Amino acid sequence: MAVAARREREREARREAILDAAQVLVASEGYHGLRMDAVAEAAELSKGTLYLYFENKDALCAAVATRLIDTLIPSIQSRIANTTTGLEAVKQLLETYCEFTHDKPQHFRFALAWLSAGERMDDSTESFQIYRGRVDHMLSLVVSAIVRGQADGSIRKDIDPLPQALQVWTSFLGVILVGLNKEAMSQRITAPVDLDQLVPLHLDSVVRALASEGAS
Amino acid sequence: MAVAARREREREARREAILDAAQVLVASEGYHGLRMDAVAEAAELSKGTLYLYFENKDALCAAVATRLIDTLIPSIQSRIANTTTGLEAVKQLLETYCEFTHDKPQHFRFALAWLSAGERMDDSTESFQIYRGRVDHMLSLVVSAIVRGQADGSIRKDIDPLPQALQVWTSFLGVILVGLNKEAMSQRITAPVDLDQLVPLHLDSVVRALASEGAS
DNA sequence: GTCAGTGACTGACTGGCGGTCAGTTCAGTT
DNA sequence: AACTGAACTGACCGCCAGTCAGTCACTGAC
C-alpha cells in the first residue's frame, strides 16, 4: 500500500501548513490575539480541520514553539563548539539565544516565555510533552557548559550545576520578557531606560556570578 | 450636605468590598480563572455594578495588585532602614520581596508578574496608572539602594544605577515567576530540582554581581 | 463498472465569558 | 405627595474555543 505512505506524507504537509499559518499569526497577534478561525482562514481550511491535527489551541501553540526552538538549538550547539572555556560557552549560549530573540522577538517571546506563563495552559497534550523535551534539552546545554567550566577552572566549583543552570535560565527569562516588549514596558515603567542595554547588563552579571575568583 | 460625604464613604466601602472579593478569587483562580460573575457573586452584587466601580476586568485587577503592593512597600522600607550598607539594603529588599511572595504566592505572582505579561492588557485605565506608580516606586527603592551602596563602597562604582536596578528587578522576576508555580513547573521541566533553592541562589548571584571587588 | 468503506474536511452550532444598557429601586429633596 | 438621581440589576450582546453530524473524494473488493 503506497497509498498509506502518500496519505501520511500529505497529512504531515497539512500539519506543516497549519503550523506555518499559526507561526505567522502568532508573531503578529501574540498568543491571546491568535484566533483559531484566523489560522484556519490562513491555512485555507475550516476550523474543524485544525482540530484533526491538534488537540486544541495550546497544543498548536506548543507545536509552533517546538519548531522555533528547533531552529535555535543547532545554532547554540555550533557556537558552543567553538569556545575555549565553559564560562565562554555559557556566554555564547546566552548570546545566541539573545540574537534569536532579537531577530524574531514575537516568536521567541512566545516560544520561551510561554513556559513560565503563570496562567493555566494545557500541558497534558502530546505536543506539549514534546515542547517540554526541547526545553529540557536547552537546559541541559546550560548544565553541561557549567560542568565543563568547573572542569576547566573558568567557573566556580562551589556551585551545583543543575540548580544554577535553572537560575541562569530563569533570570534570563525575566530580562528577555521585559526587554522584548519595550513598547508596552515603556508604558508601564516611567523610568527613561533603554531596555536594549538590559540584556548585555544581565549577561555581564551572570558571568560575574559564575566566574571563579581569579578569572578575568 | 453630610449626605454627600456619607455617600462617598459608602462608595469607597463598596469598592473595597469588591476588591476583597476579587483578591480572594484571584488567589485561588489566577487572572484568567477570575470570572467577573464570580466576583459579583462573592461581593453580593450583580455584575453590572462592578462596572460602576471599575472600568473593566483589567482595571479591577490593577487595583487588586496595587493594594497588594501597598502592603509590601512599608515592609521593605523598614527593612532597608536597618541596614548598614547599600549592598545589604538590596539584599534585604529582595528578601522581603521573597518572603511576601512565599506567604501569598498567588497574590504576588499576579501583582508583580503581571507587569511583564507579554499579552495585551488594558494599560490605559486610571487604575493601571496608579499601579504603574507603585511599580515605579518599588524600582526607585532598588535604585536608591544601589546609589547608596556606591557611596558607601559596598557596590561597584562602574555601574549605572537605573539600568542595573531594572536588571536586578527583571531577572528576579523571572526567578520568582518560575519558583512560584512549582507544581506546574515540575510538569514542564523534567529536571529534578527543588525550585525553592532557586531564589537564594539567585540572590547570591545578584549580590556577587553588584559587590565591589574587595567586599566579602 | 459499481458500490460500500474510509479518512479528510466542513461549517453551523454550543457554551462560556467580558462587557452593556434600559429599566427598577429608593433615600433624600422640594 | 411628587420628583430627582445615584445605585443597582440582570437579560442580553458579541466574540471565540471547541464540537459534531453530515458531505465529499478516493480506494479497493467484487
Say which amino acid occupies A108: F
pLDDT at residue A105 in the model = 73
Nearest residue in B to A210, CA atom: B205
What are all long-range contacts of A159-166, with beta carbons under 8 Å and residues at least 24 apart?
Answer: A159/A210, A162/B191, A162/B193, A163/B193, A163/B194, A163/B197, A163/B198, A163/B201, A164/A210, A164/B201, A165/A139, A166/A139, A166/B178, A166/B189, A166/B191, A166/B193, A166/B195, A166/B198
Phi, psi for residue B155 in degrees, rounded to 5? -120, 140
pLDDT tens, residue by residue, A100-152: 888 777 777 766 666 655 566 788 888 988 988 898 899 899 999 999 999 99
Q: How far apart are CA B214 and CA B209, in angstroms?
A: 12
Q: How far apart are CA B118 and CA B129, in angstroms?
A: 18
Q: How far apart are CA B150 and CA A194, in angstroms?
A: 22
More confident: B182 or A165? A165
- CA A77 to C1' C6, in angstroms, rounded, equals 45
C-alpha cell at B29: 483562580
More confident: A201 or B112? A201
Distance from CA of A82 to the nearest CA of B (A): 26
Q: How far apart are CA A62 and CA A123, in angstroms?
A: 9
In this structure, are residues B210 and B164 in contact, taking their beta carbons and an 8 Å threshold?
yes
| Nearest nucleotide by C1' position to the A55 CA atom | D18
Closest among B123, B124, B161 to B144, alpha carbons compared: B161
Q: How many CB atoms lie within 10 A of CB B139?
A: 20
Residues of chain B contacting residue A120, judged by C-beta atoms under 8 Å apart: 30, 32-33
Check whether A62 has a pLDDT greater than 70: yes
Reported confidence tier of residue B214, pLDDT bands at 50, 70, 90: low
Q: How far apart are CA A180 and CA A198, in angstroms?
A: 10
Residues of chain A contacting residue B195, judged by C-beta atoms under 8 Å apart: 166
Q: State the sign of the Cα–Cα–Cα–Cα dihedral B91, B92, B93, B99.
A: positive
Q: How many CB atoms lie within 10 A of CB B173?
A: 23
CB pairs under 8 A between A and B: 159
Nucleotides of D under 7 A from a protein CB: 6-11, 16-21, 26-28
C-alpha cell at A180: 522584548
The SS3 of residue B155 is strand
Mean pLDDT of chain B: 86
Check whether B66 has a pLDDT greater than 80: yes
Check whether B155 has a pLDDT greater than 90: yes
Residues of chain B contacting residue A205, judged by C-beta atoms under 8 Å apart: 167, 171, 205-206, 209
Please enumerate in sequence order all residues whose Cβ is within 8 A of that of B179, keeping only pairs 6 or more positions apart, or say none: A170, B195, B196, B198, B199
In this structure, are residues B127 and B59 in contact, taking their beta carbons and an 8 Å threshold?
yes
DSSP string over A25-68: HHHHHHHHH--HHHHHHHTTS-HHHHHHH-SSHHHHHHHHHHHH
pLDDT at residue A124 in the model = 85
pLDDT at residue A173 in the model = 85
What region, left, alpha or beta, does residue A172 occupy, with left being phi > 0 and alpha being psi -120 to 50 degrees?
A: alpha
pLDDT tens, residue by residue, B83-107: 999 999 999 999 998 888 887 777 7
Among B129, B171, B176, B180, pick the best mutation site for testing chain A contact (most A Cβ within 10 A): B171
Distance from CA of B132 to the nearest CA of A (A): 6
Segment B13-38 mean pLDDT:
91
Ranges B56-70, B111-125, B141-155, B172-186: which has the least confidence: B111-125
pLDDT at residue B37 in the model = 95
C-alpha cell at A83: 569556545
With distances taken from each CA to the C1' atom of nucleotide D16, the closest residue turns out to be: A35
Reported confidence tier of residue A208, pLDDT bands at 50, 70, 90: very high
Q: Strand D: which of residues 4-23 in chain B lie with Cβ below 7 A?
A: 7, 11, 14
Q: How far apart are CA B42 and CA A211, in angstroms?
A: 53
Check whether B118 has a pLDDT greater than 70: no
Among B175, B176, B195, B216, pick the best mutation site for testing chain A contact (most A Cβ within 10 A): B175
User: Is the CB of B166 less than 8 angstroms away from the CB of A191?
Assistant: yes
Reported confidence tier of residue B193, pLDDT bands at 50, 70, 90: low
pLDDT at residue B136 in the model = 87
Reported confidence tier of residue B164, pLDDT bands at 50, 70, 90: very high
Residues of chain B contacting residue A110, judged by C-beta atoms under 8 Å apart: 118
With distances taken from each CA to the C1' atom of nucleotide D20, the closest residue turns out to be: A48
The SS3 of residue B45 is coil
Closest among A130, A152, A17 to A85, alpha carbons compared: A152
User: Is the CB of A202 less than 8 angstroms away from the CB of B171?
Assistant: yes
Q: How far apart are CA B140 and CA B47, in angstroms?
A: 38
In this structure, are residues B29 and B101 in contact, taking their beta carbons and an 8 Å threshold?
no
The residues facing A181 across adjacent strands are none
pLDDT at residue B197 in the model = 83
Check whether B182 has a pLDDT greater than 70: no
In this structure, are residues A61 and A26 in contact, taking their beta carbons and an 8 Å threshold?
yes
More confident: A191 or B94? B94
Segment B178-187 mean pLDDT:
65
- CA A149 to C1' C16, in angstroms, rounded, equals 53
- CA B3 to C1' C30, in angstroms, rounded, equals 16
Q: How far apart are CA A214 and CA B179, in angstroms?
A: 32
Check whether A198 has a pLDDT greater than 60: yes
Segment B38-63 mean pLDDT:
93
C-alpha cell at A31: 498568543
With distances taken from each CA to the C1' atom of nucleotide C28, the closest residue turns out to be: B3
Check whether A172 has a pLDDT greater than 60: yes
DSSP string over A127-189: HHHHHHHHHHHHHHHHHHHHHHHHHHTSB-SSS-HHHHHHHHHHHHHHHHHHHHTHHHHHHH-
Among A132, A158, A164, A170, pick the best mutation site for testing chain B contact (most B Cβ within 10 A): A170
Check whether B1 has a pLDDT greater than 60: no
Place of cell 485555507: A44
Q: What percent of chain A has pLDDT over 70?
A: 86
Q: What percent of chain A has pLDDT over 90?
A: 53
User: Is the CB of A191 less than 8 angstroms away from the CB of B162?
Assistant: yes
Q: How far apart are CA B60 and CA B107, in angstroms?
A: 14
Check whether B47 has a pLDDT greater than 90: yes
